Chain A
Amino acid sequence: MAAGPATAVLALRGVRVAGRGRPRLEDVDLSLAPGERVALLGASGAGKSTLLAVANGLLAPAAGTVLWEGQPPARSRRGRRRQQARIGTLWQDLRLIEELTVQQNLNAARLARWGWPRAVLNLLLPLDTEACAAALRAMDLDPALLEQPVTALSGGQRQRVAMARLLRQEPTLLLADEPLASLDPRLAGELLALLLAQAEAPRALLLSLHRPDLLEGFDRAVGLKDGRVLFDGPVGQVTPDLLADLYGGTPPGAAP
């Protein structure tokens, strides 16, 4: 099954997702090797979010196969959950639990591996403070924030807490759906650098991006148009013409 010497962290083969009228994804092939950082480009409606939903197991494709670390979706509920625990998603709306503290939110990423006693204890006492503080530090946040409710955080801090939660999950596959969409350019650059730094083998990162000017730190770019892969190659090969084709006119932001 393995595509190369190392098993691909994520492999999609001939994936099709039906939609109203035309399919949302059609015959999509995509493979992520360990350590690879891949940017997903395309206009809105091109199928980026759908592809990410297939990649994180939220959406089962109508046709084609999805392999995580060489394995198809597990049959048993337990196996499936173990598989999902290795897929980390950074949601565009962050999906923090507003009523809980930063630490409780970070620990929520461990629920897949924890049993009931620890899950309940986490709602009562600060658990695994050291690991949580480390995750915050990795995202340039002050560990003193751990006891704060997430409602008390600024927008940038919330973004970083969501990323720290992703680390706390210890996934092998990192997925992010336009995580930088609502941020100012400087902050977006900083956070992207932090995220890219986390994607070292055996991890891989797939991130959908609406700003081609941020492509720099990525190894590969995949261009989607009307649900099909239009381009898949090194970032250096992304040309203004290609972008114009992907975005159907002038791309947002400047070309690299």
Chain B
Amino acid sequence: MKPAPPLLMLLPALVLVPLAVLLPPLVHGGGWELIGTFALAAVTPSLDPVVLASLLKGLAVTVGMALLGWAGSLVLGLLLGVCSSRTVWRTLTGSTMLAELIRRLLALPRAIHELIWGLLLLQLVGLQPAVAVLAIALPFGALVARVLSDLLDALPTTGLEALRAAGAPAPAALLTALGPALLPGVLSYGGYRLECALRSATLLGVFGLGGLGTDLKLTLQSLQFHELWSGLWLLLAVMLALEAGISLLRRRWLVPGRFVLARRGVGERSREMLLALAALVPLSVLVGRSLGVDPAALLNWQPLPGLGGGDWAATWALPWPRLVGGTLLLTALAASLAVGLAPLLLLVVAPVGWARQGLRLLWALGRLWPPPLTALLLLFVLEPGVITAALALGFHNLGVLGRLLLESADATDPAAEEALACAGSGPRLALLYGRFSALARPYLAYGAYRADVILRESVVVGLVGATGLGSQLLESLSSFAWDQLLALVAAYALLTLAGEDLSDRARHRWLRAA
């Protein structure tokens, strides 16, 4: 009894069954009125010019931080990516040892979520715009480096060898043979990272690092829902414009979609691409100036309170199995919710044309709405704990996965679905059989990758309390327990690296079977 691909895609949605049992006892019913007011405020956002002006200012800061952090991550990623490429080291020195070493080292900054980076830097150098920028640039840079080196090493080396055989010096040969082929992949992935950077900058704001996120959290806590929604709609407009712009450029430059494995012809618009990249430099400088980013200020380290010999006995006495178990449960629940619900919802609304647009909007809201804010909202009616946190994290990732699923569904051949509909199948079954069959494997492969991201992200809903490592980490941070913090970050990193390995294996299995 082996479920066929389209069914496999829906299996994670079975998590709804235990949730349906576990959720009712968690409802405390105190704040339904507040949830209602919040929902109603969506259609009556505040139009007060003073409010709007302050929100716009916050939005500009968030966008600026995202852009700078992203640009920094590109620079870092390009440098480190080249440094961790096996092909590059083999061509330059004949050995790949250093590539392997750098690759291993880069796993650490990658495994630590930007929020942890942000909070650590905040303690270290105090609140300044550069903190958020650096918090985004560091982990993103390591991620870009990994993707870039993977791309580099996957390129055929025949052209490179030919150039070398003809006597070209190694650096020139590398640039000529691999550079142009690399550009589309870098731009495609880079575009995707810019979307992520905007989400991260908003999230960092929620934790007090400035920008619109801070405004959103303050308006939520003071129950000013009309103003909250003004901010959300503004952010939505920016996010959708950004996503549309990136997909437009992607089509114009003929670069492959996010997780399309086939490579199309190298874009002929290389010069345009390079110009666009070059234009980022003056733009970043300008944005940096107006945000007041001062790299020199990063060197003014503050004395850390409570830094002593460390109380390792207390650290050891933390309930580790429960913490790790909670984090894993949170990840599993949120990932199953996100991966399973996206295709399920798409099936449910299949017969109604406009409902798909509604779903699109819901998913866009899920993407832009930071999970900790969803969690705070849920706390109006739910008890704190792993399930509440999983709902918040699942909703956010549902937005990411749902958009990807819709995009890929629109990009697949409609023939099989059309044939089924023509033979009288209902729209839902035609979609399930005709389209999901082809989508299932790449979708699940992406889901495996996403589960790893969710594990890393689980720290952001730590403020709900009792969610495992994440909440303990925030607690230790606020009580300046540096020893605990160190151990927790290490535990997180280990877990994430193990998860990365696991999700890589799952991904390869799915894609190979296809």
Contact = CB atoms under 8 A, between A and B. Distances in A.
Interface string B401-434: 0000000000000011011111111101110111
A124 B434 CA distance: 16
Contact of B437 (A82, A100, A114): A100
Contacts of B421: 84
B437 A111 contact: no
Nearest to A80: B424
Given A99-B437, A123-B4, A124-B7, A111 B430 contact: yes
A111 B3 contact: no
B1 interface: yes
Interface in A82-111: 82-89, 91, 93, 95-101, 104, 108-109, 111
Main secondary structure of the interface of B (DSSP, over half): helix
24 contacts: A56-B422, A81-B424, A81-B425, A81-B426, A84-B424, A86-B424, A93-B415, A95-B419, A96-B416, A97-B416, A98-B437, A98-B438, A99-B5, A100-B433, A111-B424, A112-B423, A112-B425, A113-B424, A116-B429, A119-B433, A123-B3, A123-B6, A124-B1, A124-B7
Contacts of B4: 99-101, 104, 123-124
Given A99-B6, A119-B432, A84 B1 contact: no
A216 to B, nearest CB: 29
B344 to A, nearest CB: 12
Nearest to B351: A77
Contacts of A124: 1, 3-4, 7
A58 B422 contact: yes
A125 B423 CA distance: 22
A120 interface: yes
A8 B424 CA distance: 20
B437 A83 contact: no
Interface residues of A, number: 37
B440 interface: yes
Most buried by A among B351, B422, B424: B424
Given A83-B424, A89-B423, A124-B3, A95 B415 contact: yes
Contacts, number: 87
Contacts of A114: 429
A220 to B, nearest CB: 24
Given A95-B415, A99-B438, A111 B7 contact: no
A83 B3 CA distance: 31
A225 B473 CA distance: 77
A156 to B, nearest CB: 20
Given A99-B437, A99-B440, A100-B437, A108 B420 contact: yes
Contacts of A93: 415
A169 interface: yes
Contacts of A82: 424
Contacts of B351: 77
Contacts of B437: 97-100
A57 B437 CA distance: 24
A84 B433 contact: no
A89 B429 contact: no
Interface in B284-329: none
A91 B419 contact: yes
Contacts of B7: 120, 123-124
Contact of A111 (B5, B6, B425, B438): B425
Contacts of A108: 420, 425, 433
Given A91-B415, A97-B416, A84 B422 contact: yes
Contacts of A169: 423
Interface in B113-165: none
